[in-house]
Structure 1
């Protein structure tokens, strides 16, 4: 094991200690949770990164993403012409200037939204989610409803996953409710995975497979971080969902139409949040920089430097990684991945780019907290005050969970 791998191996327990310290609860942490959390992350990452058949299977995800991108481009070219990626009617004087994010990359959300709905209706996604939930139950001993929500978050968004356990939300313990919220922020949905994989493919090898692995590792990391910050007072099971996951669509065509509509809502939400949050950050920087010489990105670069080091990043690259982590929290992970792709990973070795890819793989930003809290209080209004109080705390836990995923890969990847 190299020095950087030992650094990441030391970083994992330090991140656990940070989560425990941020929670302020000195009792109730079960050793089983810590052992299960660390072991499950390392086993999952080791299997997916180093067992050839599994690695090849996840590499095939990249081919599927490219096929989706080509298929989507056919639709965007038909509707938007050269704005959507078709042949330019003029000479491109600025390399890359013809790429328009909204017309060429974001429409993938529509296609994947429709495809995800179809796979759910055909019972493919429920089968996978049920299997993952059963595995989490054996490791952590949480209720079936909580495990189902965490497992679903690997594929769907932070509001859709709680929707699947809506009848049991009110009966979850406070710790399990918190874990469900942390998992929603520490993972990304399938449609965004495809978009991000397309964006960073030129700078991160096997980008789609890496992102899917990251989302899988983040599930036990979210449970670990959540239970370290807010431990269970006692292990008491909550009524688990009986029978198969509920049917949401009447037919395949209904799934396509409603999945497309949900994708459109998400696409417009992404566009709006990107405009607003990038503008707000620019506005704060415009006021802050003349007075202090600092920007939010520079402040974040200092604040997140220890977390970058804990993931096994070389000291000379920690500032660059910390800056990306800061942008993720202040704005969102979309801008961080966009920045990584635009810079070509400048200043970062390939190993550092892969670790950063894992650490960025989560909805850990203030805007997502607002979306999650709003959605979950609508699903469970009787626990509105509790959900609201746990909102920012879940952001801290989810950020630590994403860094745990990065540190796990840092342990297993040699320089």
Structure 2
């Protein structure tokens, strides 16, 4: 039965992608097959072998350890405001570790460790998938660096890119999550699903681009002069990353206050008027998609509600809701929705992506604004693909 749902999920993703494809006759089936095979290998090793499971546990344990280290700084500043482990001060327990992890990313970036990993992982990915050196590099970098900083690594290339290549890099950015966010995500969903989703989303975004946005990149059009050098002093760079991490935590907190309050308002209003909450109502809308992905029937409305919540608000709001109802979901339902939520595919991110590109190249920003809804659809399909593959192993 799992195999049937895997095929159903793949067929759904392909059909929807085909319907909005810019060039249906040139869909890159071979590239899709190679990238999908790589996804199956990665997911099998991570979720179905003892070595892979232990590796994921180690990675999850490492990020939990990082959170404990981050608590040293948080305790020093906020001391008396801290609550016991598992308490309810979301800003302190979940968002503040972003500052520390962002500092670590800055150090690794300054020491050229991250640029080295990104460059050669991207090179290897291009040799396997043949998506283009720039596209492969960017797909990997989005899984480590945050928005909008990741666009600065290719700021000289962006003004030279056409609409097709812009779509691919923007879809990768929306389908990935930054390393600074991982520890916070792991406070709300199982760490193993966060790690697997990061790996799979890199490939899912490229697969969707092969359907919606197929094109060929010539050998003389790679544009891979990537900016990695930095002339700033170490402590200036470190300070910038720490400040950026704090700004990110504040921004997420502000969005959560607004979005959670809005959802609460809609739930209470809908319940008073039609005796059904807003989240339950949108859950019915997304329930068929959840079922196609392999979510057990008893979970599809709840999972559908979380899928819609992520799209309308952001992944933090949806993860917070999942954290409160996870005990009432099946193991398979938990696995699928946990993996699905690990991406930036929501309406708010469309604005961030468009603004970031426009700040670097005005004409390219206009391109992105023109295909923004197709971009959101592609990133959402990438999440559906990732969730479907994870569900196959449960």
TM range, normalised to the smaller chain?
Answer: over 0.9
Deviation at 1:164, TM superposition (A): 0.8
Cα offset, 1:404, TM superposition: 0.4
Matches within 5 A, 1:80-95: 80-85=78-83
Partner of 1:319: 301
> Which of the numbers 379, 384, 389 marks the counterpart of 1:398?
379
Q: Deviation at 1:283?
A: 4.0
Cα deviation, 1:104-157, whole Å, max 9, x if unaligned, reads: 221111001101111111222112212321232123323222221111111122
Among 19, 29, 32, the residue aligned to 2:30: 32
CA distance in 2, matches of 1:54, 1:120: 27
2:73 alignment partner, one of 72, 75, 87: 75
Q: In structure 2, what is the Cα distance between the partners aligned to 1:172 and 1:139? A: 23
Q: Sort the Cα spacing of 1:60 and 1:194 in 2 relative to 1 into closer, same or farther, 3 A.
A: same
Q: CA deviation at 1:295?
A: 4.4
Query: 1:90-109: CA deviations, max 9, x gaps?
Result: xxxxxx6x521112221111
- Shift of residue 51, structure 1, vs aligned partner: 4.1
Say yes or no: does 1:214 pair with 2:197: yes
- TM-superposed CA distance for 1:288, in Å, is 4.8
Tell me whether 1:300 sits opposite 2:285 in the alignment: no
The answer to which of 120-129 and 4-13 deviates more is 4-13
Deviations 1:250-287 (A, max 9, x none): 34423321110110111111111112222333444455
CA gap of 1:264–1:342, structure 2 versus 1, over 3 A, is: same
For residue 6 of structure 1, the aligned residue among 4, 7, 10 is 4
The offset of 1:302, in angstroms, is: 2.0
Say whether the 8 Å CA contact 1:4–1:314 is kept in structure 2: no
CA distance in 2, matches of 1:135, 1:10: 30
Shift of 1:291: 4.7
CA contact (8 A) 1:311 1:410 kept: yes
Aligned to 2:185: 196
CA 1:342 to 1:294, structure 2 compared with 1: closer, same or farther past 3 Å?
Answer: closer
**Any residues of structure 2 matched to 1:57-68 within 5 Å, and which?**
57-68=55-66
1:158 aligned to which of 147, 154, 171: 147
- The Cα shift of 1:181 comes to 0.9
What TM-score, normalized by structure 2, do the two folds share? 0.92
Match of 2:213 in 1: 230
How many residues align structurally? 393
TM-score by length of 1: 0.88
* Runs of 5+ consecutive residues of structure 1 not aligned to the other structure: 88-95
Change in Cα spacing, 1:256 to 1:85, as seen in structure 2 (3 Å) is farther
Q: Give the superposition deviation at 1:5.
A: 3.8
Q: Provide the C-alpha distance between the structure 2 equivalents of 1:82 and 1:5, rounded to a whole number of angstroms.
A: 52
Alignment partner of 1:99: what SS? coil
- How many angstroms apart in 2 are the aligned matches of 1:293 and 1:19? 36
Shift of 1:394: 1.0
Pick from 241, 253, 258: which aligns with 1:259?
A: 241
Q: How does 1:89-168 map to 2 (within 5 A)?
A: 98-168=87-157
Query: Is contact 1:249-1:255 (8 Å) kept?
Result: no
Given that 2:132 and 2:217 are in contact with CA atoms closer than 8 Å, whether structure 1 keeps it comes out as: no
Secondary structure at the counterpart of residue 32 of structure 1: helix
Distance 1:127 1:213, change over 3 A: farther
- 1:148·1:165 contact (CA, 8 Å) conserved in 2? no
Match of residue 334, structure 1, among 316, 319, 326 = 316
Write the distance in 2 (CA, Å) between the matches of 1:138 and 1:299.
45
Offset of 1:34 from its aligned partner? 2.4
Give the alignment's Cα RMSD to 1 decimal. Answer: 2.2
